[in-house]
Amino acid sequence: MTTANSASKIVVSGFRHFFDTEDGPVQATGEIDLTIRAGEFVTLVGPSGCGKTTLLKAIAGFIRPTEGTIYCDGKPVSGPARERGVVFQELAILPWRTVRRNIGHGLEIAGIPKAEREQKVARLIDLIGLRGFEHRYPHELSGGMRQRVAVARTWAADPDVILMDEPFAAVDAMTRLTLQEELGRLCAATRKTVFFITHSVEEAVFLGDRVLVMTRRPGIIKARIEVPRRSLGGRDWETFTADPEMQNIAEQVLRLVRAERGAAEAEEKREAGAAASS
């Protein structure tokens, strides 16, 4: 049972999801309860296949949960909507629109007048450091730049909560560090509610106010760890790696995650062995 109060943006209760396959229903997640409060940056870490993407899709409204309920601002989630913006791992920005028009797309849909739109878009373009590239098309940009546009687009639409599904996974390591710092700064500047799932423990601890650890498939949340926010301007990697408290927390989370990965691998070996000998 999770206590929902007026500050809760997202309340997930008794969520469990099954997929229909040819061989019958397959369990994607175990029973999950979680709350995301307004202004929080919640990160979720877990091994592959544990169901974290399924959970995100359900919160976003792309899939209807087999069991359980999901509420956003007290209203049940029934489909995708502006209130729950999503940034995907693969690019979903439109190749036939310029950077400017992509970022402003959500505002366009909301019917915001052009002048106001341009203003907001310009501000965001400055925030993500793409001034000078407003009129370029995505195929003219690097991977990191494109992902910035994707993030900015969702940000511009001013959703109640932003769901991010490993948005930096496909970007090279160097750019990823920069993007993470930028995201931190962006969140600090705009006080958004974010739900961010990832493979990387470091990323989860770096970005999050609260880190959730998920077990292997079918996953449930086995640990919730608070991360004290240090500076108001968002974290940077240098300070983070030098901070013993941060590193402690990171190690703690890593241990929890590793235990899951190890158990998952052991189970796979057992299954393979059973299959081979049968």
| Residues of this chain that bind other proteins (CB under 8 A) | 60, 62, 79-82, 84-86, 88, 90-96, 105-106, 109-110, 137-140, 153-154, 157, 159
At residue 41, the 3 state secondary structure works out as strand
Shortest distance, position 104 Cβ to other proteins, whole Å: 10
| C-beta of 159 vs 208, nearer to other proteins | 159
Shortest distance, position 176 Cβ to other proteins, whole Å: 21
The residue assigned the tokens 């899951």 is 260
Instruction: Give the whole-angstrom CA distance, residue 271 versus residue 265.
Output: 10
Shortest distance, position 86 Cβ to other proteins, whole Å: 4
At residue 84, the 3 state secondary structure works out as strand
| C-beta of 166 vs 260, nearer to other proteins | 166
| C-beta of 125 vs 201, nearer to other proteins | 125
H/E element, 225: strand 221-226
H/E element, 68: strand 67-72
Closest C-alpha to 87, from 154, 148, 8, 146: 154
At residue 65, the 3 state secondary structure works out as coil
Q: What angle do CA 85, 178, 184 make, to 5 degrees?
A: 50
| C-beta of 92 vs 189, nearer to other proteins | 92
Shortest distance, position 116 Cβ to other proteins, whole Å: 16
Instruction: Give the whole-angstrom CA distance, residue 219 versus residue 114.
Output: 45
Shortest distance, position 183 Cβ to other proteins, whole Å: 18
| C-beta of 120 vs 216, nearer to other proteins | 120
